[in-house]
Chain A
Amino acid sequence: MALLQIAEPGMSTAPHQHRLAVGIDLGTTNSLVATVRSGMSVVLHDENGRGLLPSVVRYHADGSTDVGYPAQAMQSRDPHNTIVSVKRFMGRGLRDLPDAGSMPYQFVDAPGMVQIKTVAGVKSPVEVSAEILKVLRDRAEKALGGDLVGAVITVPAYFDDAQRQATKDAARLAGLNVLRLLNEPTAAAVAYGLDNAAEGVYAVYDLGGGTFDISILRLSKGVFEVLATNGDSALGGDDFDHRIYCWILEQAKLSGMKPQDARLLLTRAREAKEDLTFRPEVRINAVLGAGETVDLTLASETFIEITRSLVNKTLAPTRKALRDAGLEPEDVKGVVMVGGATRMPQIQRAVGQLFRQEPLNNLDPDKVVALGAAIQANVLAGNRSDDDWLLLDVIPLSLGLETMGGLAEKVIPRNSTIPVARTQEFTTYKDGQTAMSIHVVQGERELVSDCRSLAKFELRGIPPMVAGGARIRVTFQVDADGLLSVSAREKSSGVEASVVVKPSYGLSDDEIARMLLTSQENAKVDMASRALREQQVEAGRLIEAIEAALTENGDTLLGATERAEIDEGMAALRRTLEGANHQLIKEQIENLNHISEMFAARRMDQSVQKALTGLKLEEL
């Protein structure tokens, strides 16, 4: 039985304390939250016993929101203010949404990311997603009886940097500490692999409501190594609904649909798609606003015919991923099916044919991602898990820089294992040039205009030299969340200029603060007390981490003076916790981090040594 009480911030906690952490599948159609309880990963339910939360948010004029089933029930009647499938808009501009015209929203084009006009004001997809996350956070905190240490949030593997950053911002806005952004197919592989003690090469075919991912992984002795991933972040079950919707309009000779009617017919289309999994044909009935009736019969063959090109659109990335992994279909031991849309028989058949084997369907395609994320969250929160395992994931898209002539030069190729860093050297092309602009792009295409622009910045203060004299080193670092930071530095004649950028679509801390202030629920929350609370939690975490490290090898790795210095740093931090000055706490946290750096380095060295010695022993 897990301990449920959590210590006050700043108080040291016992090492065996169970930290509350959850995995969240923030899906296009449905979202879920799961946690590890008594060693088992379980989905948490609402008060009505339902695990799925429809990813639907409805805004009211007073700024309050309905999320989930109540919002979904109103989507046909209040389509402008009821946002469905918001995940499709995350990190996307208006020009990225080819079918924006057929959606019932009033879009506002904003730099970086599209926004939606509602009765409660203009909302960013980040804010809408945060509403969904808040509901899941509340559900988890009620079920678990305490504050969450953090959450693992899943994202489609093929999400680019903009979409990942937007997801992380949404989590922050919902007051969640993000332990890790985890790729959805990887999460599914963890749940499946640990459950079935799987070994060998597996493919995860993940067709969700709005996104498609294919990942090829090698599972071996507790290591989950992603070999290649590919996909389409704008292809999913929604598109199959849309094909049926278009078919209805064509058959019933309808055009110029009102938003209410469009939403109603899309709902009927989705129901028809789901029914066709079990039946050879379905009837589609609807009464529209102006009194026209729709009464059609859709046969399975027709459905297959009108969606054939969509199915094929998933097979091309699948073959590409296999090629990138250097594998043939025969090399794949099993194909794990994830996402509700994989229930469609034509998908099952197509995947079976490509891999020349029956896909694996022995897990719930709606839940497996959240269950895997919860397992990862449990480990990342520092809870002991019985089986020691490791995840090695990759970046889905190449990262590069614009060079002369509008060409993209790849700096880090797709499918590189993360974390990864690469440095490229550039030089000036004009005499006396003192600045250089750096344009960071993501994608596989040769032309910069065909790639996604992530950031543009200028490196200034280059000492004037002849053309080709300066040496500018641009470093890309992708962290374990798959997020990029770029720094550039000119290093000659002793002068150094350096800048670190976060891609421009990411929200700044100020923007997050503004959104927090304007959101209904948080309007009353005093920002200072929030900051204090955050610093207290951070301080508690740090003290706990260092105490654990000291217990483990403080005696062997530290001299008496060094030890005393760290002890003093901890005591100083503890003293600030008695007060309520968050700035002071922050300073002492930084101080303690600084003092303990040497200790951290020695511990890391020892870990590497241990890995190598272990190896030597095995060889003997």
Chain B
Amino acid sequence: MNFDFSKNHFELFGIPPLYQIDLIQLEQAYRDIQSQIHPDKFTHLSDAERRLSMQWSTQANEAYQTLRQPLGRARYLLHLNGVEIHEEINTAMSPAFLMQQMEWREAIGEARAAKDAPALEHLRGQLRAEIQAQQHQLSDLLDKDKNYPKAAEMVRELKFMEKLREEINYALEALDA
């Protein structure tokens, strides 16, 4: 079988392997590929074609989801460059970052305890700005400086920020329920 799973995600969509990518181009390439290979286009064809279409479509979804998210894209780029994040094992963080984390957690905890939805929304906005600033730095580290160890550290930090974002979302959901 010459089904080529060896292409990396960037090659699959024909875009350069960079952190700073044209999301519209990515989206267009993803849609063009799905338009050709999605299982809906193959329901009336042979079993072999239907199975292949599901495999390809699954692969395209996986690749798109990975590249679309800044963190996923960064992690994947590092992986292509031989650097793994090991976020579950490697938990060493700078004291300054940990301090900042504690402050965030405290603020979220207080807003949650007070069932203060506007405060949670405000924190969500602040966090988003913070994450964007960090992503900007990450972009330089990956695309310009090619400083992968430092980038990996930043990705680990961003992972923590994402967790905070999830926590705020959970708190908001809890207020809804």
Contacts and interface: CB of A to CB of B under 8 A. Distances in A.
Contact of A180 (B25, B31, B43): B43
Contacts of B1: 597-598, 601
A333 interface: no
A311 interface: no
B54 interface: yes
A128 B58 CA distance: 35
Interface string B129-157: 00000000000000000000000000000
A12 interface: no
B22 to A, nearest CB: 10
A77 interface: no
Contacts of A19: 44
Given A390-B35, A419-B58, A603-B49, A615 B2 contact: no
Contacts of A610: 36
B48 A600 contact: yes
A607 B37 contact: yes
Interface stretch (B71-79, B82-90, B93-101, B169-177): B169-177
A109 interface: no
Interface stretch (A377-385, A516-524, A576-584): A377-385
A612 B32 contact: yes
Interface in B1-57: 1-4, 13-14, 25, 28-29, 31-40, 43-49, 52-54, 56-57
Contacts of B53: 604
A380 B43 contact: yes
Interface string A573-611: 000000000000000000011101111111111011011
A307 interface: no
Contact of B48 (A221, A417, A420, A596): A596
A371 B99 CA distance: 57
A382 B169 CA distance: 43
Nearest to A222: B35
Most-contacted residue by chain B among A320, A480, A546, A593 (CB, 10 A): A480
Contacts of B13: 612
A614 B48 CA distance: 25
A166 B128 CA distance: 42
- Choose among A418, A549, A593, A604 the residue with the greatest number of B CB atoms under 10 Å from its CB: A604
Contacts of A421: 58, 62
Nearest to A225: B31
Interface residues of A, number: 60
A593 B47 contact: yes
Main secondary structure of the interface of B (DSSP, over half): helix
A430 interface: no
A605 B2 contact: yes
Contacts of B62: 420-421
Interface in A380-408: 380-382, 388, 390-392
A487 B15 CA distance: 33
A601 B2 contact: yes
A417 B38 CA distance: 12
A420 B61 contact: yes
Interface in A215-230: 220-221, 223
Nearest to B53: A604
Nearest to A379: B40
Given A223-B31, A417-B61, A417-B65, A608 B36 contact: yes
Pick the most buried of A149, A376, A545, A618: most chain B CB atoms within 10 A of its CB. A545
Contact of B14 (A380, A596, A612): A612
Contacts of A150: 43
Nearest to A545: B45
A594 B32 CA distance: 29
Interface in A287-322: 315-316, 319-320
Nearest to A376: B40
A115 to B, nearest CB: 33
Q: Which 6 A-B pairs have the closest CB atoms?
A: A382-B44, A600-B48, A607-B36, A316-B176, A600-B49, A480-B39
